[in-house]
């Protein structure tokens, strides 16, 4: 079981696309997000759907070839661990000066191309979301970076992690500390189903650019 093959799909993948599990005390299945726990491990595609399938179809027992205990809330536990990790590195990025807060500063960071990603609280208004989305779209149209936005946390979660109050919009800047945040946010977003709207938006922009280039040939 050393090869990184998902026990659900039977497909090999890169480590960031999988979550490792080991058998802990009392034969209980334990998620190993840092991939450093001792013992044999098995791998599952890093999203809630596949982890729920692995638990529901008794695939952990098959992978380890012995009876194991799968916590009934395993999927939720992994979600909570991923969220905690993401908020932790976000707080570190704030201390490093790699986070801009407030709609005005976020929009400015996006339009200047300095933003690596954008975070919206779940309570964000449609008007606030629309303005920043327009800025992200305009930046991409102008040949700037594709800046993804994530709506993964509540206002209370973001405020606590960032040591501020009433955090509705935040931009993580393209700095070394920001890269760690991006990795964690991508992992949590993927686990919860992915940012399909943003992918569609940037794909449409790329298609328009390709069409324009063909017209000029």
Mean pLDDT by 10 residues, the chain (217 residues): 84 94 95 93 96 96 95 96 97 97 96 96 93 94 93 97 96 94 95 83 75 48
Number of other residues whose CB lies within 10 A of the CB of residue 136: 26
Of 25, 50, 73, the last residue of a domain is 73
Q: What's the CATH number where 184 sits?
A: 3.30.1330.30
Asked, for residue 160, whether it belongs to a domain, the answer is yes
Element (H, E) at 185: helix 176-191
Query: According to the model, what pLDDT value does residue 215 have?
Result: 45
* Per-residue exposure over 45-72, b if at least 16 CB sit within 10 Å of its own CB, e if not: bbbbebbbbbbeeebbbebbeeebebee
Query: According to the model, what pLDDT value does residue 94 have?
Result: 97
For residue 210, give its domain range: 81-216
Query: According to the model, what pLDDT value does residue 197 have?
Result: 76
Give dist(CA 150, CA 86) in Å, integer: 12
Work out how many domains the chain is built from and give that number: 2
Query: According to the model, what pLDDT value does residue 171 have?
Result: 97
Asked, for residue 8, whether it belongs to a domain, the answer is no
Give dist(CA 48, CA 50) in Å, integer: 6
Give the DSSP letter of residue 66: S
3-state SS class at 37: coil
Asked, for residue 7, whether it belongs to a domain, the answer is no
Entry pTM: 0.89
Is the same domain home to 200 and 104? yes
Residues 185 and 152: beta-carbon distance below 8 Å = yes
């Amino acid at each position: 079981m050393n090869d990184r093959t998902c026990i659900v799909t039977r497909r090999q993948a890169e480590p960031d696309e999988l979550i490792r599990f080991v058998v802990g005390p009392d034969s209980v299945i334990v998620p190993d997000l840092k991939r450093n726990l001792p013992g044999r491990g098995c791998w599952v595609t890093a999203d809630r759907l596949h982890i729920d399938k692995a638990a529901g179809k008794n695939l952990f027992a098959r992978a380890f070839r012995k009876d194991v205990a799968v916590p009934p809330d395993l999927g939720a536990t992994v979600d909570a661990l991923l969220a905690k990790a993401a908020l932790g590195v976000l707080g570190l990025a704030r201390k490093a000066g790699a986070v801009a807060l407030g709609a005005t500063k976020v929009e400015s960071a996006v339009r200047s191309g300095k933003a690596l990603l954008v975070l919206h609280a779940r309570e964000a208004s449609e008007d606030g979301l629309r303005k920043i989305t327009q800025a992200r779209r305009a930046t991409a149209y102008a040949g700037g970076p594709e800046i993804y936005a994530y709506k993964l946390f509540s206002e209370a979660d973001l405020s606590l992690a960032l040591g501020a109050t009433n955090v509705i919009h935040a931009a993580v800047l393209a700095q070394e500390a920001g890269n760690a945040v991006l990795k964690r946010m991508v992992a949590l977003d993927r686990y919860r189903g992915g940012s399909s709207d943003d992918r569609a938006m940037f794909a449409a922009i790329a298609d328009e650019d390709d069409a324009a280039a063909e017209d000029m040939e």
